[in-house]
Amino acid sequence: MTLADVRPLLSDFGEAFAPASKVRLGQDCHTPPAFRSPEARFEPQRPLTYFSDIWSLATAIWEFLGMKAIFSIEIVPDDEIVAQHIDVLGPMPREWWLRWEGRSKFFTEGGHTTDAYLDDKWPPLEESFDIDIQKWRRKWRGVVEEEERAAFLDLIRRMLLFRPEARPTAEDVLQSD
């Protein structure tokens, strides 16, 4: 099976509303934590946008292909999900970092993993792909070839950018390689 063969079923991610006609603030976001965009937490007074759905869509696509969520779907504290975002995607915007009260449980002031969190640290995106998606594909479907892997990781990385306005539009996602 190739990515071209995938026929995903999309969900409303717990937020069935049209941002163009209805305002819903980040603080009122009901999307499950593993699929929730970080701006809902760090900019709670900012209205959610279609770019919040792009983040959620990326997490769903990952789970479709890898049979495993990119971020924990277990019941874990929201701070742990934030730590996973940083582990997988790299540093978050500085103003969010400074606002994040729980960061000292996971990272030093310099951004390095604390000894207490080291065993629970999640792998970076590319390594997560090899662990979560390629491992499953090796067993059941055949691995994703390098060109497709690179295109997929590029798309997911862009969809999971911390800054919502930097994420691609739905049309951009549909037009991607």
User: Residue 50 in contact with residue 170, Cβ under 8 Å?
Assistant: yes
Percent of the chain with pLDDT over 90: 60
Q: What would the DSSP string read from start to end of 34-74?
A: TT--THHHHSTTSBP-HHHHHHHHHHHHHHHHHSS-SS--S
Checking if the pLDDT of 14 tops 80, the result is no
Checking if the pLDDT of 7 tops 70, the result is no
Encoded tokens for 51: 């770019």
- CA gap 136, 20 in Å, rounded: 39
Amino acid code (one letter) for 100: W
> What is the rounded average pLDDT for all residues in the chain?
88
pLDDT digits (tens, 9 = 90+) for 129-171: 998 888 878 887 788 889 999 999 999 999 999 999 999 999 9
Q: Give exposure, 39-55, as e/b (b: 16+ Cβ within 10 Å).
A: bbbbbeeeebbebbbbb
Checking if the pLDDT of 115 tops 90, the result is yes
- CA gap 163, 124 in Å, rounded: 18
pLDDT digits (tens, 9 = 90+) for 54-97: 999 999 999 888 778 899 888 889 999 999 999 999 999 999 99
What confidence score (pLDDT) does residue 18 get? 66
CATH of the structural domain 34-175, one choice from 1.10.510.10, 3.40.50.150, 3.30.420.480, 1.10.3470.10: 1.10.510.10
CB atoms within 10 A of CB 75: 6
Q: What is the mean pLDDT of residues 13-31?
A: 70
What confidence score (pLDDT) does residue 2 get? 61
Checking if the pLDDT of 9 tops 60, the result is no
CB atoms within 10 A of CB 77: 11
pLDDT band at 8 (very low <50, low <70, confident <90, very high): low
Q: What is the mean pLDDT of residues 109-125?
A: 94
Within 13 Å and on the Cβ side, how many CA atoms surround 10?
Answer: 9
